Amino acid sequence: MRPLIVIGNWKMNGSLASNQDWVKTVARGMESGMPAGRKFVVCPPFPYLSQCAGMIKEHSLAFLSLGAQDVSAQSSGAYTGEVAASMLKEMGCSYVIVGHSECRLLHHEVDEVVAAKALEVLDNGMTPVICVGETADERNSGRAQEIVCGQVAKQVSVLQDRLADCLIAYEPVWAIGTGKVASAQVVQDMHRAIRLQLAEFDEDVASHVGILYGGSVKPDNAVELFAMPDIDGGLVGGASLNPQDFLAICQA
């Protein structure tokens, strides 16, 4: 049975004060417990990892793990502005997002770079959250599954059996931060296609890999999304900034 996983990606948002309020609110909201078989992760910007790690420890939030929004494909060296996986591990991270659509667009990341980052994360004992997804033009042209399954196949070619220790996040680019939401059935169909693509490599791996949805997940659509057989949770952007919304999604 795959656990339901909810990951909050704050992107370039937050402050020392608001972060503190967020953690306190989430701690209070989860005091009475959460449904069994679920995992929760928060991914703040790099400068706030230490603060959030400290607060998670201070409040004894065993149910909440720390994650990072990106990582370098290099382990160390003259890479100004980059952050190594070993550094994230040292800060207390358990999860790292790689290949987010914004990084693919703004930093021109290709699948081979995403796979290299995932390997760095794995080599440092953390779980990579590998993002895949199609643009509006690719979906409108009827090539959505072809594009996404092609991205997954490239990860398979590099990561092989190590995929069993990864998460995949399907994030349709056209639904991120736009307010547009794919129907639960459309998302389920894509998640199923991703799982079948993984099964071409190894059916056992395919049955165990968690596939999250990352396109405008909100409290009002989370219940329907998470009820689908191949949707194993969410990579939540804007809604994760509001602790009450994040709690509602975690409870969905």
Query: 55-78 pLDDT, tens per residue?
Result: 999 988 888 999 999 999 999 999
pLDDT in tens, 188-210: 999 999 999 999 999 999 999 99
**pLDDT score recorded for residue 68:** 98
Residue 136 to residue 8: CA distance in whole angstroms = 24
pTM: 0.96
Report the number of distinct structural domains present in the chain. Answer: 1
Strands (E), 34-189: 38-43, 64-68, 93-98, 127-132, 167-170
**What domain range is 136 assigned to?**
4-29+37-251
Identify the pLDDT of residue 177.
Answer: 66
For the residues of 171-205, what is the DSSP string, one character each? Answer: --GGGSSSS----HHHHHHHHHHHHHHHHTT-HHH
Query: Residue 157 to residues 34, 74, 82: CA-CA distances in angstroms?
Result: 37, 20, 26
CATH number of the CATH domain containing 117? 3.20.20.70
Copy the structure tokens of residue 209: 């890999």
Give percent of the chain above pLDDT 70: 99
Q: Are strands 167-170 and 38-43 parallel, antiparallel or unpaired?
A: unpaired
Q: What is the pLDDT of residues 105-141, one digit of tens each?
A: 999 999 999 999 999 999 999 999 999 999 989 999 9
Backbone φ, ψ for residue 223 (5° rounding): -60, -50
Q: How many CB atoms lie within 10 A of CB 139?
A: 21
Q: Catalytic site residues?
A: 100, 171
More reliable by pLDDT, 215 or 244 = 244
pLDDT of residue 216: 84
β-bridge pairing 93-98 and 233-236: unpaired
